[in-house]
Amino acid sequence: MIYRISPGPLTQDEEFVRDHLKRSNFKRVLDLGGVQRPWARPYVTHYVDLVYPEAWANRYPEMKEYEGFWDKEFIQGSIESSFVWEHLMFQEPFDFVICSQTLEHVSNPGYVLTQMSKIAPNGFISIPHKLFELRKGIHWGQPFRGALPHKWISVIRPQLGFDTIEYVLRMYPKLSFIDFMKFDCDNKNEEIPDLSFWWNDAIPHQIVGDDCLDFPDPKEAMDFYQKELNDGGIYG
């Protein structure tokens, strides 16, 4: 279940998470991909990151002075690696999982989302809002949309459950044709929100793939993106 959806600011969402972790006094908290910016370090007990902390600290020397960070357990590896998840599942279950500004970088976010709910009952996820990925000139003023290394455009959609409205995370591959399209957010200068949410039990998600994009006419794929990404409100 996805709940407590927030359009940011991210710093405020992170403060809520820290307060929750402080009050809860959890025994085991995992941060996936958070070594570069360990904002919950007083409460995190384990980190998984592709880059080992000493390598990040060589680039960002201030990390060497972080208190409550260097005595944690670090697992070096990709969060898409089955070896990493087998290692995590072999351990005692975690109480809470953080995955902040990381999913947009991986090739198979659906796998990561599924595995998270197998090792912990709840957690917190933050990803860039779709407006970040669709706005041109975000990074270095260059004429591409969003951040160049990011692979996904994410939105949260409501859907009708048995007796309530539930929410689903939908992730669209950031295909090259979006640079040649027009979106409602073009030429707008309002502040770009973040997109964060909490989850428990499981993380409902849909990864848009070939079943939606394998159109005989490429323009059909572009029309699909136009329709899907131009509506949605604050959750995308």
The whole-number pLDDT of residue 217 equals: 82
Whether the pLDDT of residue 191 is over 70: the answer is yes
Residue 161 has pLDDT above 90, yes or no: no
Cα 116 to Cα 146: distance, rounded to the nearest angstrom = 26
Task: Tell me the C-alpha distance between 93 and 148, whole Å.
Answer: 35
Question: Could you count the other beta carbons within 10 Å of the beta carbon of residue 62?
Answer: 7
Residue with tokens 């959806």: 5
Residue 139, domain extent? 2-235
Task: Give the mean pLDDT of 166-191.
Answer: 87
What phi and psi, each to the nearest 5 degrees, are found at residue 154?
-115, 140
Task: Decide which of 39 and 211 is more confident.
Answer: 39
Average pLDDT over residues 130-142: 86
Has residue 84 got a pLDDT over 80?
yes
The pLDDT of residue 37 is 93
Q: What is the DSSP string of 81-109?
A: -HHHHHHHHHSPPPSEEEEES-GGG-S-H
How sure is the predictor about 218, in pLDDT bands with cuts at 50, 70 and 90? confident
How far is the C-alpha of 180 from the C-alpha of 60, rounded, in Å?
Answer: 36
Q: What is the mean pLDDT of the chain?
A: 90
Number of domains in the chain: 1
pLDDT beyond 70 at 99: yes
The CATH number of whichever domain residue 45 belongs to comes to 3.40.50
Over range 152-174, report the average pLDDT. 87
Mean pLDDT computed over 18-46: 96
